Amino acid sequence: MKNLKIVDITLSESVTNPEYSLSFKEKLEIAKQLEKLNTDVIEIGEIKDEKADTLFIRSLAVLLKNSVLSLAAGLSKGEIDRAWKAVSTASKPRLHISVPVSAIKMEYQCQKKPEQILEMIKEIVSHARSLTPDIEFTADDATRADRNFLYSALDTAIKSGARIINISDCAGTYLPDEMAQFIADIKKNVPEILSVRISVQCSDELGVAAASVFACVAESATQIKTAIGPSLLPSMDTISDILRVRGDSLGVTWKLKTTQLKNTLQKLHMITNTKKSATSPFDYGVGELYTESFELDASSSITKVNKYIKKMGYELSKDDLAKIYEEFIKSAKKKSITEKELEAIIASNALQVPPTYKLISYVINSGNIITPTAHIVLEKTGKQVQGFSLGDGPVDAAFLAIEQITGCHFELDDFQIQSVTEGREALGDTLVKLRNNGRLYSGKGTSTDIIGASILAYVNALNKIAHEEK
């Protein structure tokens, strides 16, 4: 029986596929659910924005305990070093090097001749191997490559230290029997490949990707790539169904929890749903990113409090941390502090800045037979600016009107409402968390009008972003 490894590349595709629109929080949730399903490898895309992407990768590294975290490493020693620095803190880190091997991709993506590509493969795979033994090499567009060149490229990658060889049919033109013969020919001409793990990645252009990957499994492949959401790879649903029904007869074992997969995938399909609009602040959904419950008391040190603040996604200066801790101690002398209370303390005390924007007025129209509208007037540098917008609800309309004024669409990471007093004139507290360039900025608003409190909280967080950008 062969042990079959399942690789999910959803998070990698979310970088390059324009149909995806995933927030920081949603990506972490996808990874968390994939690990619960015992997905062997979670693959993520190449670093583009060093600050934001490194923060995300390190957050994943903390989150994942059992799944391999595979990071696309780029095609230069500098990019490989940067990738390793980001992913090395994971419990099971992997560097993934993908090199085009078809004539058209080599010319247009690398502007290199075949001989130069072989030299590059040797150089970058050897360098990556000096950092970690877990190296995956992908022969991108392998099915359209010159066969002799492909064999040389694979042989070079293996001799340079790659321990997983991924054969990519990104064109998706091969039928299952052709794909199986393709793998058989590679084994015959590159005998060294039998000493490493063979992986396959098939595009579903002809609707036979799932059949193709399992045809390759019959020819010694022991790793297959799949995805959730909009992708031309075989879906996780289909791969799971085939394993559950035919896995034993195919002579493979696997760790993927196929019996639990349906319920989890329903949630993940909602997250990766591409029918959402690209403008609403609520596109990404809201809720807590940080899910580990805790209670802190007055005996908690500043180091311990800061540890939980970092886990919640905040990066605070020494001055802000001192302010937060001072307020924390005052509150902790009266009661234990949970994540909700700590969020409120951060929103009220961290990065308090001179306001770039001041709320002048707002008018909200909403009802069960009309589309909610919002007219917001803010003051900026002594001048009044206004925005008008429709929305899915009154708060959505208000936030969109503010975005119209600022010309920026920030990721709404969390939105919370709670009552702080009782009675008809009860005060409502709102907490808004915006993410910009990978960092969280929280704002708090209090009012007898919950819409007003929401607008104040948003403007509070917005002012913190504006101050830092100055």
List, for residues 108-134, the tens digit of each pLDDT value: 888 889 999 999 999 999 999 999 999
Give the pair of three-digit tokens for residue 247: 């896995």
Domain 2-271 CATH (choose: 3.40.50.720, 3.20.20.70, 3.30.2270.10, 3.40.50.150):
3.20.20.70
Burial of 259 (0-12, 13-18, 19+ CB in 10 A): exposed
In whole angstroms, give the CA distance from residue 421 to residue 426.
Answer: 5
pLDDT at res. 19 = 57
Is the predicted pLDDT of residue 428 greater than 70, yes or no?
A: no
Each residue of 298-329: pLDDT tens digit?
888 888 888 877 776 666 778 878 888 888 88
The secondary structure of 72-128 as a DSSP string is E--SSHHHHHHHHHHHTTSSSEEEEEEEE-SHHHIIIII---HHHHHHHHHHHHHHH
Cβ proximity of 159 and 129 under 8 Å: no
- Residues β-bridged to residue 68: 41
Please report, for residues 371, 423, 432, the alpha-carbon distance to residue 426 in angstroms, rounded to integers and kept in the order given.
27, 5, 20
Q: Which residue has the higher pLDDT, 352 or 83?
A: 83
3-state DSSP percent of the chain in helix, strand and coil, to 5: 45, 20, 35
Residue 367: is it exposed, middle or buried by C-beta count within 10 angstroms (0-12/13-18/19+)? exposed
Among 15-19, 38-42, 43-47, the least confident range:
15-19
Kindly tell me if the per-residue pLDDT of 342 is higher than 70. Answer: yes
**What's the whole-model pTM score?**
0.63
In the structure, what pLDDT confidence band is assigned to residue 287 with cuts at 50, 70 and 90?
A: very low
The yes-or-no verdict on residue 217 having pLDDT over 50 is yes
- Predicted local confidence at residue 146, as pLDDT: 96
Per the listing, tokens 């007869």 go with 249
In the chain, what is the greatest distance between 2 CA atoms, to the nearest angstrom?
80
Mean pLDDT of 450-465: 89
Per domain, the residue ranges of the chain are 2-271, 295-349, 357-469
Q: Check residue 166 and give its pLDDT.
A: 98
For the domain 357-469, what is the CATH code? 3.30.160.270
d(CA 387, CA 380): 13
Q: Is 45:11 a contact under the CB 8 Å cutoff?
A: yes
Is a pLDDT exceeding 50 seen at residue 424?
A: no
pLDDT band (50, 70, 90) for residue 272: low
